[in-house]
Amino acid sequence: MPDAQLLLIVLVVILALSFDFINGFHDTANAIATSISTKALHPRTAIVLASVMNFAGAMTFTGVAKTIGGKIANPMTLENGLVIVAAALVAAIAWNLITWYYGIPSSSSHALIGSLTGAVLVAAGFSAVNFKGFLTIIKSLIFSPLVAFAAGFTIMTLVNNIFHYAVPHRINRRFRLLQVLTASFQAFSHGTNDAQKTMGIITFALVAGGFQDTLHVPFWVKLVAALAMAAGTSVGGWRIIKTVGTRIIKLEPGSGVSADLGSVAVILGATLLALPVSTTHVISSSIMGVGAARRFSMVKWGTAQKMVLAWLITLPVSALLAGVCYGLYLSASRLAGAF
């Protein structure tokens, strides 16, 4: 059995890092879509910058990791805890790949949280889910896009008022230079929140498998999660970059800076509060807020509606997928036992 446990934890770590890698290229658009759309950065330069800053952000904090590792369920009390985590990761990876293929900026955070909750429910029942902690996470996922919309709207309104009489080509050149900085902060904030979710799920698995007794995130977990996120970011998620950068509103340098600042404030604030948020939701909502501040009709609400629909279905669909994955494991185990 110890050998089986060791093989399982190796499999879980590989799956978790695969999820982190996919999350990196799935969410590359979060950090760089605005700067590419406004031509502030060349695409390849933007991706390298995002990779480096994602890595730096991922190595800086661990509060969100501990929230993911301990607030959905208690890993110490779960039977087949490693299998539960494996099922959750397979489901989250599958949903991320589906939404990436269709260019839908859905939430990797929703996918992971929904999958883990679904796998725990099927494996151990309702009593095993810490619904108080789960609802705290859900509230942060729900309210953060609303705050980001308001932040983007407010910052864009201030920029419009301050630079109303500025000469367009001169101010655009300055905003493009500023956007290099805001894109860097965007990528850094993305790393501080999103990479920690993978750290949290690996730590959850280590505790569930009896490899450690606390939710302390080991340094090697931080390092490999940060590297996987940075590597995934370096690949680039061009389908989603196109959606976020061009299909919500037509971005200009000033609106790109405003959108970046609005989302950075929300993501870093959530990280400091140890709350996981969807960077995809936050950044897309900030862009929508910026567009609404410029002109309400400027926002391509058809694209926004499709994105919101994807956001709404991600949690239940990923939970269902994880439940199916765990159910398949049970069926395979019973079949193997019959022989």
Amino acid at 273: L
CB 295 within 8 A of CB 153: no
Asked if residues 68 and 200 have their Cβ atoms less than 8 Å apart, the reply is: yes
For residues 322 and 95, the answer to whether their CB atoms sit within 8 Å is no
State how far the Cα of 159 lies from the Cα of 163, in Å rounded to an integer.
6
pLDDT one digit per residue (tens) for the chain, 339 residues? 457 889 999 999 999 999 999 887 766 556 677 777 777 777 778 788 888 998 999 999 899 999 998 899 999 999 899 999 999 999 999 998 888 777 676 778 889 999 999 999 999 999 999 999 999 999 998 899 999 999 999 999 999 898 887 766 778 888 888 888 988 898 899 889 988 999 999 999 999 999 999 999 999 999 999 999 888 877 765 555 555 544 555 677 788 889 899 999 999 999 999 999 988 788 888 988 988 888 777 677 776 677 678 778 899 999 999 999 999 998 888 887 766
How much is the pLDDT for 311?
74
Give residue 99's pLDDT.
Answer: 81
The pTM is what?
A: 0.88
Please work out, in degrees rounded to the nearest 5, the angle formed at the alpha carbon of residue 325 by the alpha carbons of 90 and 121: 105
Rounded-to-integer distance, Cα 116 and Cα 94, Å: 14
Please, what is the end-to-end C-alpha distance for the chain in angstroms? 19
Question: Which H or E element spans position 289?
Answer: helix 279-294
